[in-house]
Structure 1
């Protein structure tokens, strides 16, 4: 007998797990469908392994600079074992996975279906998964995205999925694309002693980041020995013995020939729409993903979509938030949307980069007047930690309401979220300036930005 559910959730990544567990708590019968492992890209090949890897690299780099703290050296370079780092990364993933495996969710009353063929729509209510056919009143699609790949017969390119399988350290690696993954993993590999080159067709790396922040990070990368090749693209790759020969073309049509032992491709991501037979359900999609309205409802009224498969905000926390919106609208009718002007994100380089709200450029397009106030990372906690590189830039509108912020500095991803709360809840600068912050903390930089900006207004 065919099983029928109130809700099916396709994809058991960040968005899917939130949708399924929240729906179950709301009293709905739920089926969770997945073609790979529960936990999705974030747990197995994205956020979790990368942050564990980055942390190991930061600790290793810091241990080589203990003399700056009046301490002896604790690092013996000849005893460094890259494979041990990767084993540690895998252990972190497995530690989290034990709380996110299929049995955990089955015990919560969620029916979990895992089959490598994935979910396939028969119509807008019936779905085939493996040898079974189930039906549901509503469906939320949370299938995520995958890295773009280049087909090559004899070259094994690295990407954010297969990188975690290697155990031998790349000695000389090329990153194609100057985005977030290249910055995070590239810097970490440099900390471990790899020779790192990053090529990008843009004039600068991290084009989504505030120019002043990119300038700071670029300067640090160059000083650390990371080679940056802007305004260039790879013409061809060729395998010779154990090396990969890259022909790199610059904007002045100059060809540079370079040898690498590894090439890491970060040339964007593709929404996971193939194989689901979306046409059978009346769900329209394009190369950019599933088409959905402001309520995350697709062209099939009973089917919603969230996360990388439909959104321009390709962050785990955005997918989770959107999943809650989908469920709210399914239960209560279309009434909740996402304020795209308040989506915080961070890049976990050293120092961290963080953003929330509007950028300075976007704010200037909206408001007749914009005030930008900047505080350098030279307040006491940054000094005691020896981490004074960076700043916080806060953007205020023509009425002096905070509308955005950009930052680079130690733990920036943690303390910029205070400003997210201020923007979301329209907290006036007077209230922020009049709030007690713990001394000495990195978060004090937020307090300083509001008190000093308030003081500057009084002096005008």
Structure 2
């Protein structure tokens, strides 16, 4: 008997098909569906994307638990007698899981109420505008979109170092699921993810060592920022191994591991119980059949887009980290606004937009606009206003005086850039960013009547100080 011919699948037609339900994608789906368009969202695993599930919000939840633990360690400073404390890591993680579930439930309701069809499965192109989706039950669906948007994000990179993959290291995903504290956590990478986890785990009770290939932590920041973070970490008992190139890993993370590294021409080793890899991100583009849709990649493996987020394929766009945009949720949300407006006939672009950011160590590092390093490199004239955080009187009431804030001001009194290393730095930075958006001169903040005592009031002190530096043309 002849074998039955495979049954063909009739593609389902949509106005918009989106692959990956991250920040930019989900808001675009909800918005256009509410406008009456037929929208399908294909999501492999994380409903709502990485931010509510495995990244920004869960990590800040754990970081806040670590902040509370730090207050217990400082209890005597506040006049509180304490006989010590213990950390129940399972409860710490449980609090995080509860928050994540609540957030995912909100996302599911948004899909239901807006009418977006949420398709849980692995999607890949089989032709221009045509995708096939492998469902969890083994079945397949085909969907065709008049417009297609790719928002599949990035994942943690694991360098091809001998023994590292076999050691089964933690990424941020597994680190957020720990129910027992590592005895000695070795963090590979001195960037944002590595530093936030390093401080949190140290405060929760782990011994922590950071191996960083560059000469400084946060090596792209101004030297005073890098120095401030390094001093903070030294003071908190975190081991810093700088100028270290990892050569080999052995053992299994979660039990016993040995990292061999080269520092200043010498081979050295460090032993620990866990490895956390935080050395970069890899775009999620493999196995998507992009070549069948005419979507090209950049040399770094990101989807190639122009300033309107258009790919090389007609009718296909990409947003967020997979498109090589700055790796921040708030930038992905702005990508949504660009696509939303341009789909409605607008002409919005990614170029020239502000990119604020914050590192959620304690205290925080936050920045907007031009840094001193960039200004010098570009030979842009500026006046530098800088004060210690202790000059902001609110910090004294909080016993949180570590750090500084500084601003670069142009010859026309415009604020060119602002950096803060201090308590609630992200909130302070946002106030300055709003002033920059409104093109206010620095004198507007200097002469403002701000509530006393608040952290924002420190901006009056900052801009009333005497400039200490100027780069001439």
Q: Is TM > 0.5 for Structure 1 vs Structure 2?
A: yes
**Correspondence 1:191 to 2:194:** no
Is the partner of 1:146 in helix, strand or coil? strand
Structure 1 residue runs of 5 or longer lacking an equivalent are none
**Correspondence 1:112 to 2:110:** no
Quote the Cα distance in structure 1 between the aligned partners of 2:144 and 2:414.
49
Q: Does the 8 Å CA contact 1:7/1:139 hold for their aligned counterparts?
A: yes
Q: Does the 8 Å CA contact 1:364/1:370 hold for their aligned counterparts?
A: no
**Correspondence 1:430 to 2:436:** no
2:99 to 92, 95, 109: 92
Q: 1:181 to 1:153 in 2, by over 3 A?
A: closer
1:27-106 aligned within 5 A: 27-73=36-82, 75-77=84-86, 80-101=87-108, 103-106=109-112
**Correspondence 1:134 to 2:140:** no
Quote the Cα distance in structure 1 between the aligned partners of 2:171 and 2:468.
49
TM-score (norm 2): 0.90
**Correspondence 1:419 to 2:432:** yes
Listed one character per residue, the Cα deviations across residues 4-46 of structure 1 (whole Å, up to 9, x for unaligned) are 2221121111121122122223443211111112122111111
Q: CA deviation at 1:156?
A: 2.0
Q: Does the 8 Å CA contact 2:386/2:467 hold for their aligned counterparts?
A: no
2:137 alignment partner in structure 1: none
15-24 vs 448-457, greater mean Cα deviation: 448-457
2:231 to 219, 228, 251: 219
**Correspondence 1:343 to 2:350:** no
92-101 vs 367-376, greater mean Cα deviation: 367-376
1:146 to 139, 155, 160: 155
39-48 vs 23-32, greater mean Cα deviation: 23-32
1:330 alignment partner in structure 2: 343
Listed one character per residue, the Cα deviations across residues 181-212 of structure 1 (whole Å, up to 9, x for unaligned) are 11111011111121110011100011232220
414-423 vs 183-192, greater mean Cα deviation: 414-423
2:388 alignment partner in structure 1: 376
**Correspondence 1:10 to 2:23:** no
TM-score (norm 1): 0.93
Q: CA deviation at 1:447?
A: 3.2
Q: CA deviation at 1:446?
A: 2.4
1:409 alignment partner in structure 2: 422
Quote the Cα distance in structure 1 between the aligned partners of 2:26 and 2:357.
21
Structure 2 residue runs of 5 or longer lacking an equivalent are 1-9, 135-139
Q: 1:456 to 1:196 in 2, by over 3 A?
A: closer
Q: Does the 8 Å CA contact 2:181/2:205 hold for their aligned counterparts?
A: no
Q: Does the 8 Å CA contact 1:307/1:318 hold for their aligned counterparts?
A: yes
Is the partner of 1:432 in helix, strand or coil? helix
Q: Does the 8 Å CA contact 1:65/1:73 hold for their aligned counterparts?
A: no
106-115 vs 16-25, greater mean Cα deviation: 16-25
Aligned Cα root-mean-square deviation (Å)? 2.2
Q: CA deviation at 1:340?
A: 4.4
1:387 alignment partner in structure 2: 400
Listed one character per residue, the Cα deviations across residues 242-265 of structure 1 (whole Å, up to 9, x for unaligned) are 3112212112x2111221110111
Listed one character per residue, the Cα deviations across residues 279-312 of structure 1 (whole Å, up to 9, x for unaligned) are 1111111334001111111111311111110124
